Amino acid sequence: MAQFIARRFLYMILAFVVISLVTYFLMKAAPGSFLAMNVGVNGASFGADQFQVSPQVMQSIINHYHLNAPWYVQWWGFVKGFVTLHMGTSFEYPNTPTLQLIEETFPVSLSLALISIAVGLAVAIPFGIIAAVRANSWVDSTTMFAAMTGTAIPSYIIAVFLILIFGVWTHLFPILGYQGAQYYVLPVLSLAIPMIGASSRYLRNSLIENLHSEYVTAIFARGGTLKDAVFGNALRNSLLPLITTIGPLLAGLMMGTVFIEEMFGLPGMGHIFVNAAGRRDYPLIMDSAMLYAVVIMIMNLLVDIIYGVLDPRIRRSGRMG
């Protein structure tokens, strides 16, 4: 296991370097620069005279971010800053250190994503079990239809429905800001509902497959009931692969939370990073890309480790696929 983690860690470092390089070059290849965009029309002269980004200010930005240095110096500056947590400030938020922005907002986004996954799974698992046990019956098709309908609707449309129902018609939950747990209810549901469909379907199919496998026949041959087969054996084996979907699910959610955070006015990191690319905010683009990469890689690693701990074949042999 330790060897596995060490090897994965090396891969992660490699992937991190590649991601930071790709991001750097794509970012530099995009036309326009933060200075030009914020200086306004007709180039620098306008900036110098009207927008009041004086030559001194521009020079200080150029020096501060080494914008005239060779590419590897700039790139290394970003990577080193990120790794050592000395990211400094971005173009867009010149007076708030990027690290402080991340510290303030990251827990909100991460908890939103994790709670949504937890809620989504808490609903998806019973749905999947009911559908699998009653496979090809009306119970199965009704459950799966309900679940897939949720998946077919994007989370921001679901958010509008939830706001209408719970915020405007019944006033059961607040729809804006963050002052307590009840402010999380609607955002979490908006993110969780689309997830339920895919996850419950995944579990259903996996469980049906398990229930049709020989070892379940053997359980029946030993005198086990369907309940023994599902809860004693097949469910655990079906949940194992479901765990592996959490990594990509989380990656998707980290992106998906951006819009939901904005709609519900939650202080997550989405709003800070979402416009970075559009504004050519180089430090923020680099820091956010590297942060997302690290978060997603760590989450995937954690998921794999959890999988390994739960699956005796991997836990005992110490090998992972």
Partner 1 sequence: MRLKSNARIAISLVAASGMLAGFGGLSMGATTAHVRPVLTSQDTAAFYIIDDGIGFDPALWSWDAHEDQIGIFEGLVHFGPGDKPAPGIATSWSNNGKNGNGLVWTFHLRHNARFSNGDPVTAQDFVYSIERAVNPATAAATHHGSSWFGDVPLKNAPAIVAGTASASTLGVSAPNAYTVQFDLSAADPTLLQQLCLDPWQLPVDQRIVEKMPETDWTNPQDIVSDGPYMLKTYKTGISATLVPNPYYYQKVPLKQINLIYTTSTDGLLAFKNGAEQIALLSSTDVPAAESDPAIKKDLHWESAAIQYTFRVSPSKNPLLQDNQKVREAFEMAIDRQVITKRVMLNTGTPAYYSHIPSTIAPWVTKAGYYYNPKEAQKLLAQAGYPGGKGFPTVVLLDSGTTDPTAEAVQQMWETTLHVKVKLEMDEWGTFLTDLYKQLPANEVGFYQWGDNGTYPMLALPTSMSNIASVTWSWMPVDALPPAAYAKYYAINNDQSLKSTVRLAEENKLILSSIPKSDVNILELGVKADQTHNSTLMEKYIIDVGRLAYNLPVYTVRNGVLVDSNLKGYSPVIWWDTDSPVWMGYLHYQG
Partner 2 sequence: MALVEIHNLRVRFETDEATIYAVNGIDLMVEPGQSIGIVGESGSGKSVSVTSIPRLLPRTARVEGSVYFNGKDMMRATASELQAIRGHQIGMIFQNPHAYLNPTRTIGKQLMEPLLFHHLAGVKRARAMGMEMLDRVGIVNPKARFDNYPFEFSGGMLQRVLIAMALITGPKLVIADEPTTALDVTVQAQILRLLKEMQRELGMSMIFVTHDLAVASQVSDVIYVMYGGIVVERLPAKQLIRVHRHPYLSGLLASLPRVDEPVGRLPFIPGLPVNTRQPLSGCPFYARCQWHLDQCQSAPPLTLVERDHEAACWLADERRVANGQPS
The residues of the shown chain that bind partner 1, judged by CB under 8 A, are: 30-33, 36-38, 40-57, 59-61, 64, 89, 91-97, 101, 104-105, 156-157, 160-161, 163-164, 167-169, 171, 174-178, 259, 261-267, 271-272, 278-280
User: Which 227-256 positions form the footprint of partner 2 (CB under 8 A)?
Assistant: 228, 232-233, 236-237, 240
- Shortest Cβ 319–partner 2 spacing (Å): 11
223 contributes a contact to partner 2 by CB under 8 A: yes
- Shortest Cβ 260–partner 1 spacing (Å): 9
Closest C-alpha among 157, 159, 158, 127 to residue 145: 127
User: Which DSSP string do the residues of 4-33 spell out, in sequence order?
Assistant: HHHHHHHHHHHHHHHHHHHHHHHHHHSS--
321 contributes a contact to partner 2 by CB under 8 A: no
Q: How many residues are present in the chain?
A: 321
With CB under 5 to 8 Å by kind, the binding choice for 49 among partner 2, partner 1, none is partner 1
Classify the phi-psi angles of 48: left when phi > 0, otherwise alpha if psi is within -120 to 50, otherwise beta.
alpha
Cβ distance to partner 2 smaller for residue 155 or 233: 233
Closest C-alpha among 9, 83, 54, 3 to residue 298: 9
Phi, psi of 113 (to 5 degrees): -65, -45
Encoding tokens for residue 207? 């469980």
Cβ distance to partner 2 smaller for residue 228 or 262: 228
Encoding tokens for residue 7? 């090897």
- Shortest Cβ 148–partner 2 spacing (Å): 23
Sites of contact with partner 2 (CB under 8 A): 212-215, 217-225, 228, 232-233, 236-237, 240, 311-313, 316-317
